[in-house]
Amino acid sequence: MLRFIDLFCGIGGFRLALEKRGLECVFSSDIDTYAQEAYKQNFGEKPSGDITEISAKNIPSHDILCGGFPCQPFSISGKMEGTTDPRGKLFFEIIRIAKYHKPKIMLLENVRNILTIDRGKVIKTIEKELKDIGYTLHKLLLNASFFGVPQARERVYFVAIKGKDIQYEPPRETFEKKYLNSVMEKDVDKNFFIDRDDICIQKLEDEIKNKLEPIRIGIVNKGGQGERIYSTKGHAITQSAYGGGVGARTGLYQTSKGIRRLTPDECKSVMGFPKRHFVSPGLQGYKQLGNAVVPSMINHVFDGLRGL
């Protein structure tokens, strides 16, 4: 059985995906105490804490290193400080561990902006570091919308392979016709709805056709981030850990009962998690889902490996 480690594990998107493929998780780590507790609720074990304080020799040997390393230093919704941000430097913890254990594969995920931040210097650094310790890198820019997930979530997936025995074939989009209205709940608490005088609907529902993308139909206030209204005939916007506006983190959507944010269970659905998967209550849960990887996307990426 192939063994993997789950770094910056959050609520366990990588683990959920790879255990489905029959792999064994032998180590997990996350510095966030709320994420640790959520992970324990889901998998029966509490992750180790700050990876910078854990010696590589105390991490079990493994075939695959997984990590959705912190994206805030590279995100357009953050300050985009890249590897000058302490969180951006956590990539070098991955290098430190891989240099010691020499796993066959590394599966990593981050935001699209990592490809262009600092005029491409960040991605060149990543490529060089991986090459220097003997890995061939495959970079995949994939949008979950084109793989049966009703959310526009474009992410970069890194598949780093050691040696020449293992080959890689990138996944092909499935273009499955799944839309947000298929996961929307019917009975939702009134606290998720908004009732304001500055709502402006610009498209009628009868005029809208299904699309594998968010369909913007109106605004609240000035229409800034978190103030845009979408149709459920399309996809959810990218779920976020942070953000402002009345629709922060989930976006606003028009339903038969009014305009509202997504519930935690709906957010799980648009991230590809089962509803039974535990997340912390309140804003912490939204943050955890916004920071998570989409498990089915990890499966698509993993399934391209040949010769493992």
Which residues are known to be catalytic? Answer: 71
d(CA 273, CA 18): 13
d(CA 244, CA 289): 16
- Note the residue count of the chain: 308
- 48 phi and psi, to 5 degrees? -65, 165
Q: Is 308 exposed, middle or buried (0-12, 13-18, 19+ CB in 10 A)?
A: middle
Residue 64 forms beta bridges with which residues? 4, 105
Q: What is the dihedral of CA 207, 210, 211, 214, to 10 degrees?
A: 70
Q: DSSP assignment, residue 236?
A: B
Find the angle CA(62)-CA(70)-CA(122) to the nearest 5 degrees: 95
What DSSP string describes 142-207? Answer: EEGGGGT-SB--EEEEEEEEESSS-EE-----------GGGT--SS--GGGB---TTEEE-S-GGG
Count of other CB atoms within 10 angstroms of residue 287? 20
d(CA 161, CA 106): 7
Residue type, 140: L
Tokens of 34: 């709320």
CA 181 and chain centroid, separation = 21
Tokens of 286: 């939204």
